[in-house]
Structure 1
Amino acid sequence: MRITVVSLLLAASAVLTWFGVRSFDLFSPGRDTVPLVVALAAAWLLFAAAVIALRGVRGRAVVVLILAGSLGIGAAAMTGPPNTSTDSARYAWDGIVANAGISPYAYVPSDPRLDSLRPDWLFPAPQVGADGTARCVGERIQAVPRTGPGDLLCSALNRTRVPTIYPPAAELYFTGVRAVTGPGPAYWPLQLTGLLLSIGTTVMLLFGMRRRGIDLRHAALWAWCPLVASEAVTNSHVDMLGVVFTVAAAFLVTRERYWRGGIALGAAIATKLIPVIAAPALLRRQGWKVTVAAAATFLLLYVPYVLATGIGVLGYLPGYLTEEGYQDGTRFALVSLVAPGGAAIVVAGILLAAVAALTLWKTDPANPWLGQLVMIGSTLIILSPRYPWYALLLVPFVALSGRWEWLAVPIALSVRMLVPSVQLTRVTLIAAVILIVVISLRRAGPGALGRLLRRRPPQGSPAGEGTRTESVTA
């Protein structure tokens, strides 16, 4: 009966995912985000119910259900085009350009010198109306005025007049996908790759948990998570590749493969930069090896692009940080309550440095999951990005640590994207912080603060005690 209940809940999650992908998006003129919010809430409720029901399941059925749910929900998520982001269109274009032998950092997408490379699904021809005026038609299609041949360019890309922002490992990924499929297929190649990477992460978690004595049912917190289906598959964010490398780095370092772990960490950082926040928890033991290997990998991946493009490899990163409000402090939803304007940058920097130091000090090197969870989750709360896919990096460490309460962070970020209200963002983030603190204190029991401030013995706990880590619980 318990297996049947879980199966029905997973089937319902897959159907809801399919319906949401096919029915709702953020690109329709005069769009109403209420249906998306309702669908999101329903998906999270079904997810919670399935995870709770899984507690009563034992034996091999746990692994079968987790893998089946990961495949079924993920497959449903790729039945329609991206519905909340157009980033995967830029990924495809960068791959097409690179396969033509051109550095993706060399030209902006609207440059006329790239006109011969443009597939129709990314750059449809303008339609001429009865009045003779050319217009760009389509939900995801933007008009890009330009001078020279073809004064109007219609594009499915965002930011067509700025260079790419993505680091070299991401660009190699885009290039590899398009080398296999060519420029013709639209969104499904990256969606399929995202599905395979998400299932691969599920398998990696299951093997890693079994080796370390962690309850395999915790893997469902990753495998069935609505954020994974939406952002790794439907919207195909390259953050998924960074997750794979980061989890691999954590497993390698805990097995004392420090050089290999550092290489994996460097590849993760060279995918999206964000995985650097997973590093402090991996540096407690033989950290210099991890650091050297990560830095060398990161730099080596950049070498071919630097030789081809020079300083242009920085792409749009400086402009992006300004655009997102990280240079004047306006993006920090909670920090700006106590330190408005430029002071928010200083306060945010101090908070991040303090969390990183505490993580490095208290993390058990044999079981770094909780330290990584706290570091990544705290960073997301402090920086409060508009984009929930940044939280993909958090979810596998929720699974490894079993700390489900931290899933309140990606929920809050999802609400921020769908309902762009600063006041609502602050409310949801504060609610997430309260939930995390209350549940964490309850888990820790009496004397939690004293244990937090005492230095952990340097030898670490046995690797089989991954579910009993104390560390920086609060």
Structure 2
Amino acid sequence: MPGFRQYGRVRIAVVSLLLAASAALTAFSVLAYDLFKPGRDTVPLVICTSGLWLLFALAVVLLRGVRGRAVVVLILAGSVGIGAAAMVGPPNTSTDSARYAWDGIVATAGISPYAYTPADDRLDALRPDWLFPAPELTAAGDLVCVGERIQTALKSESDEILCSALNRTGVPTIYPPAAEIFFAGVRAVTGPNAEYWPLQLTGLLLSVGTTVMLLVGMRRRGIDQRFAALWAWCPLVATEAVTNSHIDMLGVVFTLSAVFLVTGRRYWSGGIALGAAIATKLIPALAAPAMLRRQGWKVAVAAVATFLLLYVPYVLTTGIGVLGYLPGYLSEEGYEDGTRFALLSLVAPGGSAVIVAGVLLFVIAVLVIWKTDPDQPWLGQLVMIGSALLILSPRYSWYALLLLPFIALSGRWEWLLVPMALTLRLLVPSIPLTRVAIATAIVVIVVMSIHRAHPEVALRLFRPIRTAPARPNPAAAPSSPSTLPPSPPSPPDAPPGG
């Protein structure tokens, strides 16, 4: 037993070093690399990100040898440490949090964020310098916008130059009401002049809170708490929930709360949490089918009512404008004509890909409702969300944040290939490479699913083909049948006739 304890201490020390290395590399990547430099070389960022995923994988594997209270301590320490390291610099692969800040500033001024575009001259009095720096005068007498994150636009009324850290300054906001309430709440506390750190801090708090929820929920349901590391230490969480502060993190919190409430037979409360999740970023609707098997009507009614009620104040002030830029966004992303579907476009080009994708998602949703264990819906949610990401193949890796808690709850590590494929697509926007990454993810997921359900089937798939033994030549056989050697028996796993 002393030897076993010594072995455990070594494992704890090695895992701790790996987590410290992950935190250090996370901070380095935030400070050293971004996607905003003109003529940028993404290779160093890809290598750095690959290193983060490798450290993550090693730490998770070695955690299997750790027992007792140390598991929880390591998971929480890694969640806090890696997340805090992700706050050392501004967003490095997305400008979305600048839009979040602007929407919050507008809302705290008593104006609906759906009413005006950021380029509207009527909002000039609200513009902080860190989001809208003044243009600089060149030697030639021209006004130009300066800065890595700064884009050049024109004001909608006066056509004056507008320098902005926001993307799409000429269109209204796209975010649903729960997200807008969150943005306004953050800015009500910090004011308009605090830059990126308020949303990064709330992202850290939400991500660590999710780690705590997973640990508590797993303990109560008899799930190995070590699986919580698949969320807590994942590089995607540090990058997209903290550094880039994506609002998807809030949707994850509401969705996971809904799952634990529904499995605890609190259907109305679970439906309210689900409605708030959908009113944060729409994507959590993919988690709904797995929660409809038992008392699903209560969950659905509560979710729909919550979603609609959150929209009421904005509809009363803005009307149809609450749809924001959503229709334009879907068209811009290629979902109307089918060009965005990386794999489906190979077999269903153009608009037909939209129909095929819709049919596939509908069939998967029906199967999830039919087959899901209502006491353990996370496997159905994993399949529904993961399949949607593989089919829709979005350009944005942060959409996969919603998938990670269900990877942890189900222990299906192979689904981590989905966020890895989407991360690769973000950093290296190559359709052929994306197709290879997504196809690889699908193959591994299918093989591992077969192995988990029927291990002997998966083994048979990879077993070398055996050659049938040669049949004896009747002409050369002895005349007495009794002297014939017995036929060798067929191997038990040999295919028929083989």
With the shorter chain as reference, the TM-score category is: over 0.9
Q: What is the distance in 2 between the residues matched to 1:148 and 1:296?
A: 39
Please say if 1:191 is aligned against 2:200: yes
Please show how residues 218-237 of structure 1 align to structure 2 within 5 Å: 218-237=227-246
Higher relative contact order (CA 8 A, sep 6+): 1
Please say if 1:345 is aligned against 2:354: yes
Aligned with residue 3 of structure 1, among 12, 15, 19: 12
Q: Look up the match of 2:291.
A: 282
Q: Look up the match of 2:326.
A: 317
Change (3 A) 1:376 1:143: same
Structure 1: which amino acid aligns with 2:148? E
Q: What is the distance in 1 between the residues matched to 2:417 and 2:409?
A: 16
Per the TM alignment, residue 439 of structure 1 is displaced from its structure 2 partner at its CA by 1.1
Please say if 1:179 is aligned against 2:182: no
Q: Look up the match of 2:148.
A: 139
Please show how residues 168-317 of structure 1 align to structure 2 within 5 Å: 168-317=177-326
Q: Look up the match of 1:457.
A: none
Check conservation: 2:35, 2:42, Cα contact below 8 A. yes
TM-score normalised per structure 1 = 0.94
Q: Look up the match of 1:383.
A: 392
Per the TM alignment, residue 342 of structure 1 is displaced from its structure 2 partner at its CA by 0.7
Change (3 A) 1:10 1:187: same
Aligned with residue 50 of structure 2, among 22, 41, 44: 41
Q: Deviations over 1:107-154 (max 9, x none)?
A: 000000000000000000000011110000000000112365571010
In percent, how many aligned pairs have the same letter? 76
What SS class does the counterpart of residue 152 from structure 2 fall into? strand
Structure 2: which amino acid aligns with 1:311? I
Q: Deviations over 1:390-442 (max 9, x none)?
A: 00000000000000000000000000111111100000000000111111111
Q: What is the distance in 2 between the residues matched to 1:426 and 1:29?
A: 27
What SS class does the counterpart of residue 374 from structure 2 fall into? coil
Q: Look up the match of 1:70.
A: 79
Structure 1: which amino acid aligns with 2:352? A
Please say if 1:356 is aligned against 2:373: no
Per the TM alignment, residue 443 of structure 1 is displaced from its structure 2 partner at its CA by 1.1
TM-score normalised per structure 2 = 0.89
Q: What is the distance in 2 between the residues matched to 1:231 and 1:21?
A: 11
What SS class does the counterpart of residue 209 from structure 1 fall into? helix
5+ residue gaps in structure 2? Answer: 1-9, 459-498
Change (3 A) 1:203 1:144: same
Please say if 1:99 is aligned against 2:108: yes
Structure 2: which amino acid aligns with 1:398? I
Please say if 1:435 is aligned against 2:444: yes
Q: Look up the match of 1:472.
A: none
Q: What is the distance in 2 between the residues matched to 1:286 and 1:159?
A: 42
Aligned residues: 449
Q: What is the distance in 1 between the residues matched to 2:139 and 2:82?
A: 45
Q: Look up the match of 2:403.
A: 394
Q: Look up the match of 1:330.
A: 339
Per the TM alignment, residue 239 of structure 1 is displaced from its structure 2 partner at its CA by 0.2
Change (3 A) 1:148 1:378: closer
What SS class does the counterpart of residue 185 from structure 1 fall into? coil
5+ residue gaps in structure 1? Answer: 450-474
Q: What is the distance in 1 between the residues matched to 2:446 and 2:374?
A: 23
Aligned with residue 170 of structure 2, among 146, 161, 183: 161
Q: What is the distance in 2 between the residues matched to 1:268 and 1:431?
A: 31
Change (3 A) 1:319 1:448: farther
Q: Deviations over 1:88-125 (max 9, x none)?
A: 00000000000000000000000000000000000000
Q: Look up the match of 1:462.
A: none
